[in-house]
Amino acid sequence: MNNLKHTLWSGGWDSSFRVLQLLISAGEPMQPYYVYDHRRKSTSYEIEAIRRIIAGLQKEFPRAAALLQPVKIVNKSRLKKDAQTRQWYEELNRLYTLGIQYEWFARLSRQYGISDLELGIVRHTEEEIPQFNLDLERNIREVEDQYRLIDQPVLHGLRLFENFCFPVIRYSKDDMGTEARKLGFHHLLALSWYCYHPGKNGIPCGECKPCQIARISGYDHHFQPYSHKPVRKFHFPRFKKEGLLNLSP
Ligand SMILES: [Zn+2]
């Protein structure tokens, strides 16, 4: 499949929107990647969200579900170290305090030979746009319906993003909700997960960064106690490099 899209899927709102949009609306085949970090407390919730969204797809949108390849889980601890991505990352991190996950994603794209890995960076309103997003947007061009880094970014470190596409960079979280409603998959999008520190009853903590963003953006998951709580804890062998997500809970 040479038109296969490669998409990072964390189980969150932005990447889940992109997965559903590609499969249901664009009807394009897709290979999703979930990057596993053993230190992350919300992993089981994210995996549960992915499983539930796929189950919903298979039931309600079987033709779209058939376009989805098994989710590839990539263990970030087993990605090879890469001096070049480290240098780019450090250059950016000195300026912006950038999440380390972007360095993992860049290493993944290089080590898996993917030159168009879809990353869910979204649009911010003018009042709240972080400087990093502003500078990134200034160095992105649209070519054949894809948003990509320009060839000579002003900041050398932005080359960290040279293997990425930014399919939702013109969307706010609210825009995604509106489009999902229009296309009939909002209830699947509402199965997504964002909080880093879910409480015992499975309700988001309300305090971590994604929770704060969720409050500002006001997107609706219809949370109830235990409504998004995983059936069981997700385990991935610490020293395994990659694997395919088993869909049974
Ligand atoms: Zn939270």
What's the 189 CA to ligand 1 centre distance in angstroms? 18
The pTM of this model reads 0.94
CB 196 within 8 A of CB 210: yes
Q: How far is the CA of 233 from the centre of ligand 1 (A)?
A: 18
Show the tokens assigned to 174. Answer: 């609210």
Q: Give the Å distance between the CA of 43 and the centre of ligand 1.
A: 13
Distance 3 CA to ligand 1 centre (A): 36
Q: How far is the CA of 137 from the centre of ligand 1 (A)?
A: 27
With beta carbons less than 8 A apart as the criterion, state whether 21 and 183 touch.
yes
Distance 218 CA to ligand 1 centre (A): 14
Name the nearest CA neighbour of 116 among 36, 2, 7, 1.
7
State the distance from the centre of ligand 1 to the C-alpha of 151, rounded, in angstroms.
37
Q: Which helix (H) or strand (E) holds 142?
A: strand 140-143
Distance 214 CA to ligand 1 centre (A): 9
What pLDDT was estimated at residue 1?
57
Q: 183 and 25 in contact (C-beta within 8 Å)? A: yes
The three-class DSSP label of residue 243 is strand
**Percent of the chain at pLDDT above 90?**
76
pLDDT at 155 over 90: yes
Centre of ligand 1 to C-alpha 199, Å, is: 9
Decide if pLDDT at 219 tops 80.
Answer: no
- Kindly give the distance from the C-alpha atom of residue 29 to the centroid of ligand 1, in angstroms, as a whole number: 32
Q: What are the distances in angstroms from CA 118 to CA 57, 145, 176, 225?
A: 20, 13, 16, 33
Residue ranges per domain, the chain? 5-244
CA of 212 to the centre of ligand 1 (A): 8
Q: How far is the CA of 54 from the centre of ligand 1 (A)?
A: 24
- Rounded to whole angstroms, the Cα distance separating 144 from 156 reads 24
User: Does position 216 have pLDDT exceeding 70, yes or no?
Assistant: yes
Radius of gyration of the chain (CA): 17
CATH 1.10.287 fits 5-244, yes or no: no
Band (pLDDT 50/70/90 cuts) for residue 125 is confident
- Lowest mean per-residue pLDDT among 160-169, 190-199, 218-227: 218-227
**Phi-psi category of 95—alpha, beta or left, where left has phi over 0 and alpha has psi -120 to 50?**
alpha
Question: Measured between alpha carbons, how far is 42 from 34 in angstroms, rounded to an integer?
Answer: 13
DSSP secondary structure, 41-97, as one string:
TTHHHHHHHHHHHHHHHHHH-HHHHTTBPPPEEEEGGGSPP-HHHHHHHHHHHHHH-
Determine the distance separating the centroid of ligand 1 and the alpha carbon of 83, expressed in angstroms.
33
Contact 27, 64 (CB under 8 A): yes
Centroid of ligand 1 to alpha carbon of 208 (angstroms): 4
Is pLDDT above 70 for 49? yes
The residues facing 30 across adjacent strands are 5, 68
Q: Give the HSE-up count for residue 93: Cα atoms under 13 Å, Cβ half-sphere.
A: 13
Distance of alpha carbon 249 from alpha carbon 214, whole angstroms? 27
Ligand 1 centroid distance, CA of 72 (Å): 26
Asked whether 226 and 201 are in contact (CB, 8 A), the reply is yes
CA 246 / ligand 1 centre spacing (Å): 26
